[in-house]
Structure 1
């Protein structure tokens, strides 16, 4: 009896929590001190939207859920502004903005007065101004338009709005940047002059900002002086200035297909700070003598002035490596040989070697995708990568060790990578075994490298590489060094890209401070919490940039595939949910979806025990990695979703 009274009393109480709405329409509310989230049926959500803070009351038990709830009040909206597509209701005195993004589907009513300034099918930013009880849909006000739905610029600017990324710099920041450019002054007193040493940059064809350059000088047979020169951005960007605060707020440049949102104004990123050829440039350099075995004999760190002789593209350097002739061919060939030695040492030490192909597009004048292809990692890319890895490693080692090679206890910003989650590794093992691949849990790194070598060039390569990446922890910035698991480095930082990463500016400032102040007791740095907060923020902004770049790539993929509607393709199963199967289209390296209910050959369900889909009637089983023939039936630009039709196993 007491239990029943307690239950009745609890059912009369109300509770506040955040609602999470599923793709199927029902929801769960997370409430503090409750062991499980409270289930909310579709008809009890009562105008709440995913992420809203809501008040719920508990309802009577039902057969499926012991406790379920009903939303009785929206305490606080997570968002009141949404991005959607404007439609006119021809026979009504209003328009509607349809928001169909992720877990949110809304039809927001717009008064006829507003429609005069906008065009049908515009992608717009709309704000909910009220939601009268008598109306099924909320009333809204259009704040701005991004342009016609489906166009490059419309998607570009709407994504920036969605992720709250500013495109233009503030007037104050632009003004400060122009002032820095006009007052550029080169003080050579504390800089090593490297202008007479052969120096060059190696970058993508369309690159405009050049962070790093390499210099090569032959000393005697088998010995070389190599310089890694990084743009001295921190010389120009003064800490706590207007420009510094805005650069920190952005924290990273964001690279779209055909466009860049820079961390610094272009007068700095593309001009003053960029290591352009035939111009005197300030840099922060790591210079070392290396023998033919790839051993560093001595090294120097400090500020320099350089003058790049040549701006190479990766393709130009690749041609020089292959043909062993051309401008600076001896220097480039030497760097190539040494980079291979560095790579071999790194892999021997346990570094995981994932070289994913990059998706690239050819665009027409209106920036519509006209072709899609994969860019492979060539020798020229690996050359640059190995020397940048070496620099980042050696600089963090220098900060950590004093002259006696003992731990220095200096504060620094590290690029850290934790060990992988055991459950994720076991799941990876479970998924790849039906494909004939094994994973040794006792020696994960070596086993993963062996797996990567075995799948190279095979149809399942992209799929398995993605599974490996998902099983790994996410790299981040921190002042607490735990090492870098993936690279097998005890010490690692990001130092080599200060034009496009604020973390590198922090690394430059701290390193220069330690070079100037030899006695640790005299250091007058900001608080530990200050640098940890900066590290966490840089990690946060990096994740946003990655998500944004991926979403834009998906938009371009879907847009390109619209011209192939009705065509048949080969694909590989890459994953399952309880309701659907995901297929990677091999020709485009693009993932599409098929709902189980739309597969005509059988009634399929997801089997979690062996990570497969199994047919109820014919008992056919399909695993991740199985090759499938499919038909492209829809390419939804709004949802950035590719819908396929199942034809059958190959």
Structure 2
């Protein structure tokens, strides 16, 4: 017992000495030491390094540092490995490693989109450039988190790159005497690729090229690569479009074996197949699509019933009949997940034999379809519905313009059927808005191109009744299919289904938008049950006014992004409790999944594997985003090319965006957007206040805010950067 007491007394004395020694250094210095170790958790620091980096100048403090470090190690706050000291972060991190996808925001930081189980959501985590570990946008990575005391938030550190999203980049080659660089076109690739002079091949200075990363050493600022393909001279239409396609990973052609599998499918429909379907070939049936369309996903049939109701069929191309699980066509369709509509071409999800041929609901030929059949009255009330495979024979292929003529003139073939459908569509649309749907729409642009792909004209597309009529019946079919599957239960749970989900808007963003709209004299009621009604009133109030587009665009930005998921969470924008995509399987893979699931459940099948379909949903959502980004890039390229013909000309526009360095102006006639830099406004010094969202000149107090009408001169266009610069008049 006496020995034990003596031992305890000695330990207490040692502990007191440690505390006394530590107390001679202030807590701020000790915190700096820990933060130094945490900044490079994989590295061991010697006492000499710590003294230098933390700037400990007092000889007394230097002498006592060793004892302080040992005390910190004893307390588990740092690690002592031999004669070096190390952060405990790696030890903690090994127990907390997770996976995520990198989403670069700017050259200084990125967010990590964390992988989560079905139904679980976590916030994206910020990771600063020093902690990126050479990861690039889209990479799948492993990461750990730590608390950044200086910024008072959790941040991430990437510990491993699990899978590169891509290692080839398109860009412009810049050659010097002894080496070259490729400046990537990808706006989320913030590193130039260093190219040894012997690795440029036949490429010339200024060429658009594809470069592949071959090496990236730990301490190198930029990756090293080689030129793998020369696309052509910058500015050439084919070069620029191919550049966009490569930048976003779009395929240039189908693999030969996939085309071969498609071409081997017989053109004739076997009689046995027709016998297994509902035969609608005797019903009046037609398609309505853009005048340039070659693939017809959907057709409408209509028949007046004896009881005065209408039998209306929404017939959708039966892609799942031809694209079967395990086939090469299935593999390629899943990989692409969507067709991509660039300004001058389409990158299809399916080979032409299917997309424009067998699957397309072309006129005057028998075609296989998957249909939603409704018995309705003239008010849009549905009395009965059924789903199943059909065979149809389209009587007519209408363009939207031709269908609109029949609506406006009440003349022409099938005008009675089209007007009946249009009247019912109006009722469906009115009911939808009464039930909480939101009516904001993005403005699409139409380019007129010459034989070389150069834009000669640019006008906003106008949506008329013919477009809205088709939209309403597609929405009806999508909604009713989703509701039908949701009601099916297995062990008390809904069957697995692919849903199109649109979450509620962020309350903070809505509040900011309400403040923004108030500047134009519009009031919004943000009471939960009145938001949609209030937003729709705003749409009516701004129609035809100068601020219409800017307000509608700002409203759209407050909304969440729609995604595909197996979670039946509803669609806020449409005001539907359950919604899916059933109506465009030629161009969207999720619709193919929905067709398969619907048929499986019609055949009394058990609930499908939720995890498998959730993974496919995530892939489809990701590919949809890539497609949208590529489409925007091609539009921006053509806008820049179009505006290059108007250098020096004066035009009218509206302030559409404000930043610390300049304001964006959207031109009235063409919707082209460009930047006025404050540095070019030399008559005053302009400063942007993000709280008031107002730009003010410090000398003359001239102000600019969103929605202001201005006159600008087209100063410069840059096809490589896809940018337009203006000067304020």
TM-score (norm 2): 0.78
Q: Counterpart of 2:383?
A: 297
3-state SS in 2 of match to 1:238: coil
Instruction: Call closer, same or farther: CA 1:37–1:537 in 2, change over 3 Å.
Output: closer
Instruction: Call closer, same or farther: CA 1:408–1:216 in 2, change over 3 Å.
Output: farther
3-state SS in 1 of match to 2:274: coil
Q: Counterpart of 1:121?
A: 206
CA distance in 2 between partners of 1:283 and 1:643 (Å)? 50
Bigger Cα displacement from structure 2, 206-215 vs 566-575: 566-575
Alignment of 1:183-222 (within 5 A): 185-186=270-271, 187-220=273-306, 222=308
CA distance in 1 between partners of 2:700 and 2:353 (Å)? 66
Q: List alignment gaps of at least 5 residues for structure 1.
A: 56-60, 518-522
Task: Report how far residue 179 of structure 1 moved.
Answer: 2.1
CA distance in 2 between partners of 1:400 and 1:149 (Å)? 52
- What are the Cα deviations for residues 595-649 of structure 1, in whole angstroms up to 9, with x where unaligned? 22322232122212222212222233322111111121111111111111122xx
| 2:40 maps to 1:11 | no
Q: Please, which of 377, 397, 420 is the counterpart of residue 334 of structure 1?
A: 420
CA distance in 1 between partners of 2:390 and 2:622 (Å)? 32
Task: Report how far residue 526 of structure 1 moved.
Answer: 3.8
Q: Counterpart of 1:58?
A: none
CA distance in 2 between partners of 1:266 and 1:337 (Å)? 35
Instruction: Call closer, same or farther: CA 1:6–1:393 in 2, change over 3 Å.
Output: closer
CA distance in 2 between partners of 1:567 and 1:239 (Å)? 57
| 2:436 maps to 1:350 | yes
Task: Report how far residue 122 of structure 1 moved.
Answer: 2.1
Q: Counterpart of 1:440?
A: 525
What's the Cα RMSD here? Answer: 3.6
Q: Please, which of 588, 595, 599 is the counterpart of residue 508 of structure 1?
A: 595
Q: Counterpart of 2:570?
A: 483
TM-score (norm 1): 0.87
C-alpha contact (below 8 Å) 1:251/1:542 kept by paired residues: yes
Q: Counterpart of 1:421?
A: 506
Q: Counterpart of 2:330?
A: 244
3-state SS in 2 of match to 1:430: helix
| 2:592 maps to 1:592 | no
| 2:624 maps to 1:542 | yes
Q: Counterpart of 1:458?
A: 545
Q: List alignment gaps of at least 5 residues for structure 2.
A: 1-24, 43-89, 91-100, 115-124, 144-148
- What are the Cα deviations for residues 277-336 of structure 1, in whole angstroms up to 9, with x where unaligned? 111101111122221222122222211110001110000000111110101111011111
Task: Report how far residue 207 of structure 1 moved.
Answer: 0.6
CA distance in 1 between partners of 2:127 and 2:429 (Å)? 52
Instruction: Call closer, same or farther: CA 1:290–1:133 in 2, change over 3 Å.
Output: closer
3-state SS in 2 of match to 1:277: coil
Larger Rg: 2
Instruction: Call closer, same or farther: CA 1:126–1:268 in 2, change over 3 Å.
Output: same
Q: Counterpart of 1:269?
A: 355
C-alpha contact (below 8 Å) 1:100/1:106 kept by paired residues: no
3-state SS in 1 of match to 2:544: coil
Task: Report how far residue 192 of structure 1 moved.
Answer: 0.9
CA distance in 2 between partners of 1:545 and 1:326 (Å)? 38
CA distance in 2 between partners of 1:545 and 1:333 (Å)? 35
Task: Report how far residue 515 of structure 1 moved.
Answer: 1.2
Q: Counterpart of 2:236?
A: 151
Task: Report how far residue 463 of structure 1 moved.
Answer: 1.3
Task: Report how far residue 353 of structure 1 moved.
Answer: 1.2
3-state SS in 1 of match to 2:305: strand
Task: Report how far residue 80 of structure 1 moved.
Answer: 5.0
- What are the Cα deviations for residues 135-174 of structure 1, in whole angstroms up to 9, with x where unaligned? 9987642110222212222222222222222232223322
Q: Please, which of 149, 165, 173 is the counterpart of residue 86 of structure 1?
A: 173
Instruction: Call closer, same or farther: CA 1:548–1:195 in 2, change over 3 Å.
Output: same
Q: Counterpart of 1:307?
A: 393
Q: Counterpart of 2:536?
A: 449
CA distance in 2 between partners of 1:542 and 1:5 (Å)? 50
- What are the Cα deviations for residues 49-85 of structure 1, in whole angstroms up to 9, with x where unaligned? 9769999xxxxx9xx9999xxx9x9999986533222
